[in-house]
Amino acid sequence: MNIYSAISANIWKSYLIIALFVLFAGTIAYIFGRATGYGPSIGVGIFIFSIVYSFISYFYSDKIVLATSGAQEIQKKDNPELFRIVENLALGDGIPMPRVYIINDPSPNAFATGRDPKHAAVAATTGILDKLNKSELEGVLAHEFSHVKNYDTRLMAITAVLVGFISLITNMFMNTLFWGGFRNDEDRDSRAQLIFFVIAIILAILAPIIATLIQLAVSRKRELLADASGALLTRYPEGLASALEKISSDPKPLRTANNATAHLFIVNPFKGQGFSSWISNLFSTHPPLEERIKILRSM
Amino acid sequence: MTIIVIAIIAVLLLFFFLAYNGLVTARVRISEASSQIDVQLKRRTDLIPNLVETVKGYAKHEKDVFENVTKARASLMSADTTKQKAQANDFLSNTLKSLFAVAENYPDLKASQNFSELQEELSDTENKIAYARQFYNSNVMDYNTKLQKVPTNFIASMFHFQPAEFFAVDEKDKEPVKVQF
């Protein structure tokens, strides 16, 4: 697969994911509506809401992602070295200069977002800026630029927002369940409501898992492709390899990352701590770092 | 029968349009990439007079070096083809190297803030030229490959699409570096 077919495949995939999401959210909403006894009207409401939400996610996903990560936009005078690297890579990739953000966090990490290269932004944590030298930082940012150029960022940002939405409505259902906000609809068959209730509980458990699987499907292969095309841009794979090594040896997890945005970052932001990281390793958004480093060193 | 003939003609026409437009797009990409290089080359030539004046303030007697740099700058500004630009740029890089080598002998100059700023600006421009050149060359490669591949090559030769020049210096054109003591 060359780079141009990767781009058009990504563009189609983002539309497909939005369509699947609207369908999926509609089904869930209908079932939850029946199960809670509010009837299909709430289902239709949520369905319409999910369509609006998809539009918002298409146009504003980058801003949402940047805001939830606590990223601050910077100008050239704030960090000329970082800014220059970004300018150079934009020249090398032939894309417009993206906006540059800094996340005030000691955990070394970085991500790119935006629905196309004209609306792109790259963000780096203060941790990564302190830890890496110039050619390593260049390697990391070149990797992020490949995400922008291949339209991975569009696909990933949309997925991030939509996965967040699905967790939101399942949480809403679980809360209703917990606080007993149910209505017994006398006019209707209460047996049917019971059946929908059981399906709804199963869905409430499965939906986040399905959403995560969608997220994984779009993420893991992208990372290896971005590593390769990033190395092609800097002509220096060792820069990224040694950057990944430095980042992986740092134990600090990124505070502002969550399950919905994890797959955007250059390395898994949770690192190895506790149960949640065991789960996220099981459903990893990134290929193992050792493997990525090995591939880069063999280029 | 006529339907088959019409279908074949339609497919051929479609192929023709796609191939022709593909070539035009590739050529436009090259000229875009080339103007990116020009922007950076212009920035580089704009920095030089300032640099020369600054160095002159501390090292009046290094006339040869100044002359060479000024000559190289002039030849870069008058360069027309991609190849000439690449050569002139390479020449300018060499003369600047000797200018900075001379500067090493003047501690006051090296300590001057103006000088170190100019030095940084210049090395940034050089990096940018390198990246812009890389983008340009990869576009040239895509286009030239198209020109040679069957069946696009028929359309290319029919409409006289010429292969594009890489932004590079031929080995044989490189001047040997003269070392003087």
Q: By the 8 A CB rule, do B163 and B83 touch?
A: no
Q: Which of A29-33, A142-146, B2-6 has the lowest mean pLDDT?
A: A29-33
Find the mean pLDDT for residues B60-86.
89
Q: Is A92 on the interface with B (CB under 8 A)?
A: yes
Domain A76-152+222-297: what homologous superfamily?
A: Metalloproteases ("zincins"), catalytic domain (3.30.2010.10)
Residue range of the domain that includes B130: 2-173
pLDDT in tens, B41-65: 999 999 999 998 888 888 888 888 8
Half-sphere exposure in the Cβ direction for A199 (13 Å, CA): 16
Q: Please check whether residue B103 touches A, CB under 8 A.
A: no
**What residues does CATH 3.30.2010.10 cover in chain A?**
76-152+222-297
Closest residue in B to A234 (Cα) is B131
Q: B100 in contact with A at a CB cutoff of 8 Å? A: no
Q: Do A92 and B135 touch (CB under 8 A)?
A: yes
pLDDT at B89: 92
Cβ under 8 Å to A: B residues 128-157:
128, 131-132, 134-135, 139
Q: What is the pLDDT of residue B8?
A: 93
- At a CB cut-off of 8 Å and minimum separation 6, what does B143 contact? B23, B26, B27, B29, B30, B163, B164
Closest to A109 measured CA to CA, from A216, A226, A290, A253 = A253
CA distance, residue B92 to nearest chain A CA (Å): 21
| Low-confidence winner among A6-10, A34-38, A238-242 (lowest mean pLDDT) | A6-10
**Cβ proximity of B26 and B139 under 8 Å:** yes
Contact between residue A168 and residue A28 where contact means Cβ atoms under 8 Å apart: no
With beta carbons under 8 A apart, name residues in chain A contacting B135.
91-94
What phi, psi does A76 have (nearest 5°)?
Answer: -55, -40
Has residue B181 been placed in a domain? no
Among residues A81, A87, A138, A144, the one annotated as catalytic is A144
Partnered with residue A190 across adjacent β-strands are none
Q: Which of A13-22, A70-79, A208-217 has the lowest mean pLDDT?
A: A208-217
Q: Which residue has the higher pLDDT, A273 or A183?
A: A183
Average pLDDT over residues A33-57: 76
A144 classed as catalytic: yes
Percent of chain A at pLDDT > 90 equals: 23
Q: Is the pLDDT assigned to residue B73 strictly greater than 70?
A: yes
Check residue A69 and give its pLDDT: 87
CA–CA distance, A180 with A82 (Å, rounded to integer):
53
Is the pLDDT reported for residue B131 higher than 70?
yes
Q: What's the pLDDT band for A83 if we cut at 50, 70, 90?
A: very high
pLDDT class of A1 with cuts at 50, 70, 90:
very low
Q: How many angstroms separate the CA of residue A85 from the nearest CA in chain B?
A: 9
Pick A283 or A270 by higher pLDDT.
Answer: A270
Q: Of B29, B131, B139, which is closest to A91 when you measure between CB atoms?
A: B131
Q: How confident is the model at residue A205 (pLDDT cuts 50, 70, 90)?
A: confident
State the pLDDT confidence band at A218, using cuts at 50, 70 and 90.
Answer: low
CATH number where B149 lies: 1.20.1440.20
Q: Which pLDDT band, with edges at 50, 70 and 90, does A58 fall under?
A: confident
Band of pLDDT at residue A141, cut at 50, 70 and 90: very high
List for chain B the helix, strand, coil content (%; round to 5): 80, 0, 20
Contact A94 B131 (CB under 8 A): no
Does position B108 have pLDDT exceeding 90, yes or no? no
| Residue-averaged pLDDT of chain B | 88
Confidence (pTM):
0.75
Task: Round the CA-based radius of gyration of chain B to a whole number and report it.
Answer: 23
Q: Is residue B179 part of a domain?
A: no
Pairwise CA distance, residues A179 & A36, whole Å: 12
Residue of A nearest to B124 (CA): A84
With H, G, I as helix, E, B as strand and everything else as coil, classify residue A104: coil
Mean pLDDT of chain A: 80
pLDDT for res A181: 58
Q: Does A180 touch chain B (CB under 8 A)?
A: no
Q: How many CB atoms lie within 10 A of CB A24?
A: 19
CB-nearest partner of A88 from B29, B32, B127: B127
The band of A214, judged by pLDDT with boundaries at 50, 70 and 90, is: low
Give tens-digit pLDDT for B137-156: 989 998 999 999 888 888 89
The confidence score (pLDDT) of residue A295 equals: 84
- For B20-43, write each residue's pLDDT tens digit: 999 999 999 999 999 999 999 999
Read off the pLDDT of residues A84-98 as tens digits, 9 standing for 90 and up: 999 999 999 889 999
Of the given ranges (A194-208, A271-285, B120-134), which has the lowest mean pLDDT? Answer: A271-285
pLDDT at A289 over 50: yes
As a whole-number percent, the residues of chain B with pLDDT over 70 amount to 93
Taking CA atoms, A14 is separated from A208, A214, A218, A261, in Å, by: 19, 11, 10, 16
8 A C-beta contact, residue B142 and residue B23: no
What is the tally of structural domains in chain B? 1
* Residues on chain B touching A87 (C-beta within 8 angstroms): 128
Q: What is the pLDDT of residues B82-93, one digit of tens each?
A: 989 999 999 999
CA of B74 vs chain A CAs: smallest distance (Å): 25
Taking CA–CA distances from A89, the nearest residue in chain B reads: B131
In chain B, the residue whose alpha carbon lies closest to the alpha carbon of A83 is B124
DSSP state of B164: P
